[in-house]
Amino acid sequence: MLAARPGTDRVALLTCEDLSVPGWRHYVAAAGTSVAVIGGREVAVEEITGVVTCLPNVSELDLLHIVPSDREYVAAEMSAFLLSWLSALGCPVVNRPSPTCLSGPYWRPEQWARLASEVGLHVQPLHRRVALALSATPAVTQSVTVTVIGERCLGPADTATLAGARRLARAADVELLTVRVSGPEPGATFLGADPWPDLTSEETADALMEYLEANAVSRGTR
């Protein structure tokens, strides 16, 4: 949907099917012009001015064009390739891959809560339990969502919470982050975070495009 928005003719969608098309060239510690295949078109990596990674890893469900018996192997190979390719790109990559995730840190709730506490957000204790029998589903906690894009922070939260969300993103070394808190009031409690904001939101999509454009200009490319 982001690539299909009006006025975004410079945005292209790279899918797992593109990875199966001949024409890719990726050089590791060797001279050569690296080339990607995006939407059936060969693109030199120097032409790419920014990347938004929305996929944590390649799964078998992403590979319906591959014969079933090969999907597990191909998924692992594609994930490994993308980790190397994304890490080598010189343009802005939102978010840079980690060893366990192609789009930033793949952390458990406890890891996010610990980091949130370290950057000054109010965090409630986390509890895990295993039920031996079926039990009633707990009520959904009311929350609001804050989205961090670079130094911008979008969402119905107070100034201190927005600043805390920016600090959390910097501490996690990501440019794009969703942070959930208990409400818009001051002193709201941190409930969770992940690097996959809702890019169907017009406000979020506009801010993301502005961030990519600004960083492309700062690198002297268009």
The pLDDT tens digits of the residues spanning 195-214 come to 999 888 889 999 998 998 88
SS3 per-residue string spanning the chain: CCCCCCCCCCCCCCCCCHHHCCCCECCCCCCCCCEEEECCEEEEHHHCCCEECCCCCCCHHHCCCCCHHHHHHHHHHHHHHHHHHHHHCCCCEECCCECCECCCCCCCHHHHHHHHHHCCCEECCCCCCCCCCCCCCCCCCCCEEEEEECCEEECCCCHHHHHHHHHHHHHHCCCEEEEEECCCCCCCEEEEEECCCCCCCHHHHHHHHHHHHHHHHHCCCC
Q: Which residue has the tokens 């506490």?
A: 117
Q: Is the pLDDT of residue 134 over 80?
A: no
What are residue 11's phi and psi, to 5 degrees? -100, 130
Question: 34 in the Ramachandran plot: left (φ > 0), alpha (ψ -120 to 50) or beta?
Answer: beta
pLDDT value for 139: 55
Reading the block at residue 191, the tokens are 């409930």
Q: Is the pLDDT of residue 221 over 50?
A: no
Q: Which residue has the tokens 């192997």?
A: 73
Average pLDDT over residues 141-166: 93
Q: Is the pLDDT of residue 162 over 90?
A: yes
Average pLDDT over residues 87-107: 93
Q: Going by C-beta distance under 8 Å and a sequence separation of 6 or more, which residues neighbour residue 55?
A: 62, 82, 102, 103
Contact (CB, 8 A) for 199 and 54: yes
pLDDT value for 133: 72
Which pTM does this prediction carry? 0.86
pLDDT value for 222: 41
Q: Is the pLDDT of residue 192 over 70?
A: yes
d(CA 110, CA 125): 9
**Using one digit for the tens of pLDDT, what is the confidence trace for 30-74?**
778 899 999 889 999 999 999 999 999 999 999 999 999 999 999
Average pLDDT over residues 93-110: 94
Calculate what percentage of the chain has a pLDDT beyond 90: 70
What are residue 116's phi and psi, to 5 degrees? -60, -40
pLDDT value for 135: 63
Angle at 152 (CA atoms; ends 175, 91), nearest 5 degrees: 35
pLDDT, averaged across the chain:
89
Q: Which residue has the tokens 């789009």?
A: 103
Confidence band (pLDDT; 50, 70, 90) for 126? confident
Average pLDDT over residues 18-22: 94
Confidence band (pLDDT; 50, 70, 90) for 217? low
Q: What are the structural domain ranges in the chain?
A: 18-94, 109-218
**Using one digit for the tens of pLDDT, what is the confidence trace for 76-95?**
999 999 999 999 998 999 99
Confidence band (pLDDT; 50, 70, 90) for 189? very high
Domain 109-218 has CATH 3.30.470: yes
